Amino acid sequence: MDLKTLCEINAPAGNEGEIRKAIVERAKEFCDDVKIDRMGNVICHKKGTNPDAPHVAIAAHMDEVGFIIRGYTEDGMLKFSPIGGIDPRVIVSKWVLVNGETKGVIGAKAIHLQSKADREKLLDYDSLYIDIGAKDKAEAEKLAPLASYVSFISSYEEIGDGFILAKALDDRVGCYNMLRLLEDSYPCDVSFAFTVQEEVGLRGSMGAAFGIDADIAIILEGTACNDLGDVKERFHVCTPGEGVAVSFMDLSTIADKELFHAMLSIASENNIKAQVKRSVTGGNDAAAFQRAKEGCRTVVLSVPCRYIHSPSSMCKKSDVDAQYELSSAFLKQYK
């Protein structure tokens, strides 16, 4: 399954059914042990050939950021809330799909009608609405019932010098590479966890990590870059085209020191492009795996993504491949 197909599936956190179905169908082509747990995570297990090797979990989240309908105006506009962290400044005038079938656009007061105070104030979600062309509140309620999920309408494009432009690169890049990894066999036991609801607090991975009970967990992610404009180089998080980003720490996890250095060494030995993520920011499913049961050694491998959590994220195809290559090389070392 290609990355384009995965990115263009709509699956905001809590509504992962379509992406889960696609992943299960593909995973069953290469793995006989594919299960869906109570939270909706997809867990695939492959038995290794070396009984002395550790049990390794590889995890990536299926969900993406999106919105949910929470009310209406009398003239038929939809009021909504974000699912996950989305800056309201990046969403005005963007096309969206409501409930999987109704198109709309995110609107705000026109610039011509704004007061000086309005223009100086940061837009918040109470100031925004989704316009689906409904004639009144009754029609809006019929077309978009309360709790309807909303996704960005955004196509996958390959542009410029090896860049990919798409929604949901966070974390369809990880899902894509896990499906590639599933095609191979390894010396160690490997459990592949395609998790749900990461964007709203690691909710799926908490159960997945407890059930898998691995010795080591490798989290495949997308991460912010902060490499553009007048940002000084020392504040860059990572750089597209410089390879997969290996994290030493974020706001919820400190990487296992041995695993961190092992990843960089394996990358160097195998001529795989890798870089160190140079900022202690964000969080991901590593936190759940690190804290499960008696604990788990964790490390995070991320693809640098510009404009993350927006309808138009960008990453380098070469970095996506580097994430796959480093993960594969790590798993194959346990001979």
Is CATH 2.40.30.40 the right assignment for the domain spanning 66-152? yes
d(CA 299, CA 187): 19
d(CA 314, CA 68): 24
DSSP 3-state assignment of 136?
Answer: coil
The DSSP line for 89-119 is: GGTTT-EEEETTTEEEEEE---GGG--HHHH
| Nearest one of 320, 234, 325, 247 to 284, comparing CA atoms | 247
| Domains of the chain by residue range | 3-64+167-331, 66-152
Amino acid at position 126, single letter: D
Phi, psi torsion values for 86, nearest 5 degrees: -125, 120
- For the chain, give percent helix, strand, coil, nearest 5: 30, 25, 45
Whether omega before 136 lies within 30 degrees of 0, making that bond cis, reads: no
Could you name the CATH architecture of 3-64+167-331? 3-Layer(aba) Sandwich (3.40)
Return the residue matching tokens 């394996």. Answer: 266
d(CA 175, CA 192): 10
End-to-end, the C-alpha distance of the chain in Å comes to 29
Q: Are 62 and 196 in contact (CB under 8 A)?
A: yes
Return the residue matching tokens 């793995």. Answer: 31
- Catalytic residue positions? 198
Q: pTM here?
A: 0.95
pLDDT tens, N- to C-terminus, the chain (335 residues): 999 999 999 999 999 999 999 999 999 999 999 999 999 999 999 999 999 999 999 999 999 999 999 999 999 999 999 999 999 989 999 999 999 999 999 998 666 656 666 666 778 899 999 999 999 999 999 999 999 999 999 999 999 999 999 999 999 999 999 999 999 999 999 999 999 999 999 999 999 999 999 999 999 999 999 877 777 777 788 899 999 999 999 999 999 999 999 999 999 999 999 999 998 888 999 999 999 999 999 999 999 999 999 999 999 999 999 999 999 999 999 88
